[in-house]
Structure 1
Amino acid sequence: MTALVTGGTRGIGYATVGELATLGAVVHTCSRNHTELNEKLQEWQSKGLSDWFGLTFLAESKERSLWRLSSSVFDGKLSILVNNAGTTIIKPCEEQTLEDYTTVMITNVEAPYHLSQLAHPFLKASGNGSIVFISSVAGSMALPRLSAYSASKGAINQITKSLACEWAKDNIRINTVSPWAVRTSITKPVNYLHLNKWNGNAEDSEPEEISMVAFLCLPAASYITGQVICVDGGYTAGGCWPFQNFSFNLFNP
């Protein structure tokens, strides 16, 4: 297995890189931060995982630039693409600027969509390709101050279903993992004290707990495609909880 995981130096991406490597995949990852990328490489090497790592050193955000670099590194071989990199801007809708909206949409929708297009011939050639998008429960349920982010994740959910149907003939599976609040740099503003009162599992999750990502890449998941799978400690099963009142204090000041 050869995998490319975007945004692999933090959070869910970082955990996914490590898990795929321990499962025997040759993993390529990327980051806009060279220093952070090198630090993680040293960490992985210290754990004895260096034989499974390829590095795509990305300072640019353009997908085609990433693809030129990464495709030369993995010599045209790719069976797994994990579209993990993303961002959010937490503001009420009336305060969201066009720049805010554009930033979220380019990062969360356009980038993974175009990267998937570029990956298609390689995944098809592998004979058993898999794409996993990282979405959010915000793509399925309304959350306060996240209108642009929610729209971007809702788009990813629908792209998942569309591509799964279009590319089934090419033996490429496409699925999405939708976490609830995972402790990463992107969720620092979340008020976990209030959140945990209402989560069905009574806890927020750590990136390492989102192991569904790696599972969906494996042959064991060969009959799973077009699915948006919530990994949320029971949150969506319990409904919207207190969000009928959007003044609920989900985020820290």
Structure 2
Amino acid sequence: MMDNRWSLQGMTALITGGTKGIGYEVVEELAGFGSRVHTCTRDGILMEECLREWQAKGFHVTGSVCGLSSWPERHKLMQNLSSLFGGKLNILVNNVAAAFSKPTVECTAEDFWLSMATSQLGHTLLKASGSGSIVFVSSVAGVVSLHSAFIYGATKEYTAAMNQLAKNLACEWGSDNIRANSVGRWLLGSSQPLRL
């Protein structure tokens, strides 16, 4: 059932990691406002469960099973989106992340690579929409120190590098009518004290 407070009718959206947590809530919210939504996850069983729920609610939601750290899978996702949405994407919510909770000296090159792997999606489709918007789901870990969470705080989508990427893309892609914003959140359930 569409929410009548305002409308996203005719808009298209990609929410990465939309089958649980914040991603799930964003899918519900955007679909509730009438947007056609596509989401992706690595868990095919959970994807099918969510798609059934959204269909029962009358939402226009489709999904892909893919790992965004894989370049071939990311490329395939963008091809699917282009086909589904007629080559245009209005909204990208970059929500996928993974936290590495270990000391910096124990982090591997692969940890660093995975931490930056999903930061740029969809420029061509966003530009083609004529009015694109990217929302990066960030965290307070990007502005304060969290014990044993260096990579998470420094590079992951939830953090400092993502915040800076949002600023840079807002400037660089503004001429393509693409907005970029970073929305910070607290690590729910974390018992870690803030260290300023």
Mapped contact 1:34–1:59 kept (Cα < 8 A):
no
TM-superposition CA deviations, 1:154-210 (whole Å, max 9, x none): 111111111101111111100011111236xxxxxx33xxx6xx8xxxxxxxxxxxx
Deviating beyond 4 angstroms after TM superposition, the runs of 4 or more aligned structure 1 residues are: none
- Given the alignment of the two structures, is residue 55 of structure 1 paired with residue 60 of structure 2, yes or no? no
Contact 1:6/1:30 (<8 A) preserved: yes
Match of residue 67, structure 1, among 53, 62, 78: 78
Does 1:126 find its partner at 2:129? yes
1:111 to 97, 104, 118: 118
Letter in 2 for 1:91: K
* Distance across 1 between alignment mates of 2:181 and 2:63: 24
Matching residue of 2:186: 180
Q: 1:56 to 1:165 in 2, by over 3 A?
A: same
Partners of 1:123 and 1:98 in 2: CA distance: 31
Normalising to structure 1: TM-score of the pair? 0.66
Partner of residue 213, structure 1: none
The aligned length equals 180
Q: Distance in 2 between matches of 1:155 and 1:46?
A: 38
Query: Aligned partner of 1:58: which letter?
Result: C
CA distance in structure 2 between the aligned counterparts of 1:15 and 1:163, rounded to whole angstroms: 25
Identity of aligned residues (%): 47
Q: Is 1:98 aligned with 2:101?
A: no
SS in 1 for 2:117: helix
Mapping 1:1-253, distance limit 5 Å? 1-49=11-59, 52-58=60-66, 61-62=70-71, 63-103=74-114, 105=115, 109-113=116-120, 115=121, 119-152=122-155, 153-182=159-188, 190-191=190-191, 240=194, 243=195
1:146 to partner: Cα distance: 0.3
Which consecutive unaligned segments of at least 5 residues does structure 1 have? 184-189, 199-239, 245-253
SS at match of 1:176: strand
How far off its partner does 1:27 sit?
A: 0.4
TM-score, normalised via structure 2 length: 0.83
In the TM superposition, what is the alpha-carbon distance from 1:59 to its structure 2 partner? 5.8
Greater gyration radius = 1
The offset of 1:110, in angstroms, is 2.7
- The residue type paired with residue 162 of structure 2 is I
**3-state DSSP of counterpart to 2:144:** coil
User: Structure 1's 59 and 156: CA in aligned 2 closer, same or farther, altered over 3 A?
Assistant: closer
